[in-house]
Amino acid sequence: MEECIFCKIAAKEISGEIVYEDNDFIAFMDINPQEPGHVQVIPKNHYRWVWDVPNIGNYFEVVRKIAKAQQRAFDTERIVSKIIGDEVPHAHVWIFPGNAKADKKDIKGNAERIRVSLNKIE
C-alpha cells in the first residue's frame, strides 16, 4: 500500500471527522470544504483512480448513501459530486450540498448532521 494522506486517514493514523465507515470504504469531512457538508468518500485500500476500485458498484452505493443523508441533513435536493483525482493520489469522490444553509467551517456540526441523517435512512 502506498503511503498517502488518505491511506493514513483510513488507517486512523491521522484523525478525520468520519461520517461513515464499513469494511471497504470510509467517508470523512473535507478539512477545506467547498460548501457546508463537504465529504470525501474513499476506499480504505489504496487505488490511484476511482476506476481502479474493483468493487466500484459498492463504492457508488456508499456515495449514494452519503448524498441521500446530505439531502436530508441540509434540506436540499441539490448535491454536487466530483471525481477529478489530481488533488490526492488516492481514489476519492467529492460530494457536497450545492446550496446548504450552514457554516462550512462548522465541520464537526455538519458531520453530526450527516451522521444523524444516515442513521435515519440506513
Tell me the domain boundaries of the chain.
5-121
CATH superfamily of 5-121: HIT-like (3.30.428.10)
Per-residue confidence (pLDDT) for residue 1, from 0 to 100: 47
Active site residue 90: no
Confidence band for 87, pLDDT divided at 50, 70 and 90: confident
When pLDDT is averaged across residues 86-115 and rounded to a whole number, the result is: 94
The answer, yes or no, to whether residue 76 has pLDDT greater than 80, is yes
Per-residue confidence (pLDDT) for residue 51, from 0 to 100: 96
- Output 106-113 pairs: Cβ under 8 A, ≥24 positions apart: 106/36, 107/17, 107/29, 107/31, 107/33, 108/17, 110/29, 110/33, 110/36, 110/37, 110/73, 111/17, 111/18, 111/19, 111/29, 113/37, 113/73, 113/74
- Given the residues 38, 46, 90, 92, the one annotated as active site: 92
The pTM of the full predicted model, rounded to 2 decimals, is 0.94
